[in-house]
């Protein structure tokens, strides 16, 4: 209760500044561009703007073009000029915000390969390093202590709680008896998604990137699960896939059942991709939209805007709490579905089952 | 819609980064943690089982010791009882013996008294006989002189004999 | 002539937007119904059999995830309608 009162106090003390928003903003608030700027990938990491000074970290652009071959330059070159070595950042059309070059007809086309270290790529690197450091730290604790020393405390204890939760609640019941083979992969997936989700909720530099709300990231994760499912699937799984136990007219002249099964195999990673991506994207969008309500109402009237600041910040706090829950649940669900798919690819003999 | 189309570059970097992370954690991270956690779980289970067993054993030992104590107590009681009976018996025996001894001694004493008395009687008889002889002698001597005097004399003699006899006794 | 065509196009575009919003609301109704069914039945079964609560919970999360996945597909379709 006291905590809530403090929050209200802070909000009330912020009210005088609410009027300033109107002065600084020129023209209408473009909610769509604000949201999309955050949600989409970009070639520089925009941190904040103080007045008209935009503070951002320029990131390297690496492209392979059929015209010039490999090119590598900093994205800060576009601050002063629109075009550099024939490359430019598109401002409209399908490739909006992406790096493009002009083909012989004067149309904007994407380079053959665009391996730029974008904001999302850099945050993936940062979170990967964080994850590795965290897990190796925990592993070092376990290496240094004997079993008789008892359970860990503090941070390592929290990590152990999460690991045992994932192991006992997700992996063991779903994967089956050779769960130890897949446990490192599933745990890596869980912690990667969880860490990315949590960091995505932080509004400042190391966090704040929309990593798991980017379809390429979730597609990569789903591809890993796809590989784990199909490379380590046993004979029974492939028999079920191509020669299932159904009346033979369903599979001989027209391979109907195999087709359906194959469709299922392809749909599974797709479902994983879309679910995680859409959930996190929707979460970020909603939080930003609620924050934008302040600026929209401020344009209409400062007093209404002031009141709305109140409501909107409370609502944003609520949404952030909800997003914390979603961050955990989505990591949990992705891991759970992955382990269910892996478990389904390792069926035991039917005679044993029935 | 641009954000529904995965970027090739991002996909590439993501796969690379995730692959490296997975490799490192597969090699040095999670297997250590998992094995340690499982080992500890086993250790705790073992310890619990051992503790239960120890408890059971302890209970059994306690039961046994209780039994032994009970037995010892019974034994003690029995021994005490036996000792008591034995004591009683010994006392009784001693009493009996003493009784019989006393009786025997009494009998002996009586016999000795009897003997003594008989001896005394015999002595008295012989003395009486002697005295009566001497009395008779004196009497006879007195009677020879004067009948009256003889009588008195005899009387006197007899008195003196009586006195003597009394003093002798 | 040209202006009427343009007006028409703008009108149709706004109708498409409205359609996307309607679609989103219908998606939310369906997903909410499904998840509420899961929640109520799962809680009921947990109350009946508290010892099976952990199994029920993971099953509940799994089926909620499946429903939510379908809803997310629909949301993505709405996005496509809205922006493409």
CATH number of the domain where residue C8 is located: 1.20.20.10
Q: Give the model confidence (pLDDT) of A157-195 as tens digits.
A: 999 999 999 998 889 888 888 888 899 999 999 999 999
The count of residues in chain B is: 169
Q: How far apart are CA A219 and CA A273, in angstroms?
A: 5
| Spatial CB neighbours of A60, under 8 Å, sequence gap ≥ 6 | A72, A73, A74, A75, A116, A117
Every domain of chain A and the residues it spans: 45-117, 119-349
Q: Which residue of C has its CA nearest to A215?
A: C76
Tens-place pLDDT, residues A38-54: 788 888 888 877 777 77
- Residue A14: name the closest of A354, A235, A310 by CA: A310
Q: Which residues neighbour B6 within 8 Å (Cβ) at sequence distance 6 or greater?
A: A215, A216, A219
Number of Cβ within a 10 Å radius of residue B132: 13
Residues paired with A88 in a beta bridge:
A83, A100
Please state the rounded mean pLDDT for residues C11-30: 84
pLDDT by residue for chain B (169 residues), tens only, comes to 567 788 888 899 999 999 999 999 998 888 888 888 888 889 899 999 999 999 999 999 999 999 999 999 999 999 999 999 999 999 999 999 999 999 999 999 999 999 988 998 888 888 888 888 888 777 777 666 677 776 777 788 788 888 877 776 6
> Domain tally for chain C?
1
Q: Which two tokens stand for residue B35?
A: 């094995």
DSSP secondary structure code for residue B1 in this structure: -
| Six token digits for residue C4 | 């009427």
Whole-complex ipTM: 0.84
Q: Give the domain range for residue C37.
A: 2-83
Question: Is A224 within 8 Å of B18 (Cβ atoms)?
Answer: yes
The 3-class SS string of B94-154 reads: HHHHHHHHHHHHHHHHHHHHHHHHHHHHHHHHHHHHHHHHHHHHHHHHHHHHCHHHHHHHH
Distance from CA of C81 to the nearest CA of B (A): 10
In chain C, which residues have their Cβ closer than 8 Å to the Cβ of A279?
68, 72
How many Å separate Cα B84 from the centre of its chain?
A: 6
Q: How far apart are the CA of A220 and the nearest CA of chain B, in angstroms?
A: 6
Helical spans, DSSP H, in A234-255: 235-242
**pTM of this prediction exceeds 0.90:** no
Of C58, C61, C72, the CB nearest to A279: C72
C80 and chain A: CB distance < 8 Å anywhere? no
C-beta neighbour count of B34 within 10 angstroms: 21
C-beta of residue A86 within 8 angstroms of C-beta of residue A68: yes
Of A136, A151, A216, the CB nearest to B10: A216
Check if the beta carbon of residue A12 is closer than 8 Å to that of residue A313. no
Number of H helices and E strands in chain B, helices first, is 3, 0
- A-chain residues within 8 Å CB-CB of B16? none
A135/A146 Cα distance (integer angstroms): 18
pLDDT tens by residue, chain A, 354 residues: 677 677 666 666 665 554 444 444 445 677 777 787 778 888 888 887 777 777 888 888 888 888 788 888 888 888 777 777 778 887 777 777 788 887 777 777 788 888 888 888 999 999 999 999 999 999 999 888 887 777 788 898 999 999 999 998 889 888 888 888 899 999 999 999 999 999 988 887 777 788 888 889 999 999 999 998 988 888 888 888 887 777 777 777 777 888 888 888 888 888 888 888 888 888 888 888 888 877 787 777 777 777 878 888 888 888 888 888 888 988 998 999 999 899 888 887 654 444
- Of A46, A37, A57, A43, nearest to A88 by C-alpha is A43
Nearest by Cα to B153 from B164, B134, B138? B138
Q: Is the distance from CB of A115 to CB of A71 less than 8 angstroms? A: no
């Amino acid at each position: 209760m006291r905590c809530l009162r403090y929050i209200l106090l802070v909000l009330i003390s912020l009210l005088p500044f609410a009027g300033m928003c109107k002065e600084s903003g020129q023209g209408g608030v473009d909610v769509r561009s604000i949201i999309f700027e955050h949600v989409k990938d970009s070639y520089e990491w925009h941190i904040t703007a103080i007045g008209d000074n935009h503070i951002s970290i320029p990131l390297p652009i690496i492209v392979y073009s059929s015209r010039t071959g490999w090119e590598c330059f900093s994205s800060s070159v576009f601050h002063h000029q629109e075009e550099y070595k024939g490359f430019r950042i598109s401002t409209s059309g399908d490739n909006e915000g992406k790096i493009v070059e002009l083909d012989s007809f004067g149309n904007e086309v994407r380079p053959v390969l665009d391996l730029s270290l974008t904001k999302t790529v850099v945050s993936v690197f940062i979170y990967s390093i964080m994850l590795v450091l965290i897990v190796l730290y925990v592993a070092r604790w376990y290496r240094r202590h004997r079993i008789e020393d008892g359970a860990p405390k503090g941070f390592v204890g929290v990590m152990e709680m999460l690991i045992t939760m994932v192991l006992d609640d997700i992996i063991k019941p779903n994967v089956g008896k050779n769960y130890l083979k897949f446990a490192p992969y599933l745990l890596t997936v869980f912690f990667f998604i969880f860490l990315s989700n949590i960091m995505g909720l932080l509004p400042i530099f190391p966090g704040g990137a929309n990593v798991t709300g980017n379809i390429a990231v979730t597609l990569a994760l789903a591809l890993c699960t796809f590989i784990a499912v199909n490379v380590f699937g046993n004979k029974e799984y492939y028999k079920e896939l191509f020669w299932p136990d159904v009346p033979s007219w369903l599979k001989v002249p027209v391979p109907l059942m195999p087709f359906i099964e194959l469709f299922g195999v392809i749909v599974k990673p797709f479902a994983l991709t879309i679910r995680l991506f859409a959930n996190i994207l929707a979460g970020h969008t909603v939080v930003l939209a609620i924050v934008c309500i302040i600026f929209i109402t401020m344009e209409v009237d400062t007093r209404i805007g002031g009141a709305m600041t109140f409501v909107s910040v409370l609502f944003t706090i609520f949404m952030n709490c909800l997003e914390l829950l979603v961050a955990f649940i989505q990591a949990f669900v992705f891991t759970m579905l992955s382990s269910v798919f892996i478990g389904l690819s390792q069926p035991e003999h039917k005679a044993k089952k029935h | 819609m641009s954000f529904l189309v995965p970027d090739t570059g991002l996909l590439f970097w993501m796969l690379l980064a995730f692959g490296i992370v997975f490799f490192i954690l597969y090699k040095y991270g999670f297997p250590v943690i998992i094995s340690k956690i499982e080992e500890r779980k086993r250790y705790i289970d073992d310890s619990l089982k051992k503790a239960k067993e120890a408890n059971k054993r302890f209970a059994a030992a306690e039961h046994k010791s209780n039994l032994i104590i009970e037995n010892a107590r019974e034994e003690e009681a029995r021994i005490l009882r036996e000792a008591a009976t034995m004591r009683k018996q010994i006392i009784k025996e001693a009493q009996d013996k003493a009784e019989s001894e006393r009786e025997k001694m009494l009998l002996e004493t009586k016999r000795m008294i009897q003997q003594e008395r008989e001896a005394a009687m015999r002595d008295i008889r012989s003395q009486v006989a002697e005295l009566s002889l001497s009395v008779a002698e004196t009497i006879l001597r007195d009677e020879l002189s004067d009948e009256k005097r003889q009588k008195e004399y005899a009387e006197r003699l007899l008195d003196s004999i009586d006195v003597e006899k009394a003093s002798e006794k | 002539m040209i202006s009427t065509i343009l007006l028409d196009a703008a009108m149709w575009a706004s109708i498409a937007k409205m359609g996307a919003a309607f679609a989103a609301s219908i998606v939310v109704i369906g997903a909410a119904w499904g998840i509420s069914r899961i929640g109520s039945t799962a809680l009921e079964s947990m109350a009946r059999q508290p010892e099976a609560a952990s199994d029920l919970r993971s099953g509940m999360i799994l089926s909620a995830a499946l429903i939510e996945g379908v809803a997310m597909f629909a949301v993505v379709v709405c996005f496509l309608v809205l922006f493409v």
